[in-house]
Structure formats: C-alpha cells, structure tokens
Amino acid sequence: MNIMGIVIVDICSANAITTLNIEKIIEGEFPEVAVIMNSCLSYCGLCANSPYAHVNGKLIHGKTPEQCLARIREEIKKELAVYA
C-alpha cells in the first residue's frame, strides 16, 4: 500500500465496494493514490445499502460496486488535476 498518496481513498471493509479488489485496482491505475481500508467509516445506513468511499474526504457512492468505482476514478482524476 502506498501511504504517501496525494489522494486518499477511504474504504469501509464491510461495504459492498470490497467485492471488487478496490485497493489493487485503484493503486494499480493511480500510483499517487493511497487506498486505506477501515473497519468503519460511520455511515452504517449508507454502507448497508450502497457501495461508497471517501476520496480526499468527499463522499462518493453508486448503485453498484462498478458504478461506484467509475465515480471514484472520476473524482481521483479531478483531485489529481489540482496537482498537475
């Protein structure tokens, strides 16, 4: 895991997004991103119903893990554009 990322993606380990190998996918595509797996992000209602993550503190969610991943990628690109 790259802990020196300029973009941080926080994931709840109990969330549906973890049906994908989100850490490997994101860190493989974006070396400047760190994916942090947490035991809880305190969004239990959302977590039970939707895949979600925080990207530099911004809540990103989708109806499916794949849709959420696509939205996470979009948000990462926006965040990285700030540093370009």
Q: Which pTM does this prediction carry?
A: 0.89
Q: Residue 2 — pLDDT band, cuts 50, 70, 90?
A: very low
Question: Locate tokens 């994908």: which residue?
Answer: 20
pLDDT (tens digit per residue) in 5-45: 689 999 999 999 999 999 999 999 999 999 999 999 888 88
Classify strands 7-12 and 33-38 as parallel, antiparallel or unpaired: parallel
Work out the number of other CB atoms within 10 angstroms of the CB of residue 38. 13
CA 64 – CA 71 distance, rounded (Å): 11
pLDDT greater than 70 at residue 75: yes
* pLDDT confidence of residue 54: 96
- β-bridge partners, 12: 38
* pLDDT confidence of residue 5: 60
Q: Please tell me what DSSP assigns to residue 3.
A: T
Q: Which tokens hold the place of 37? A: 């797996």
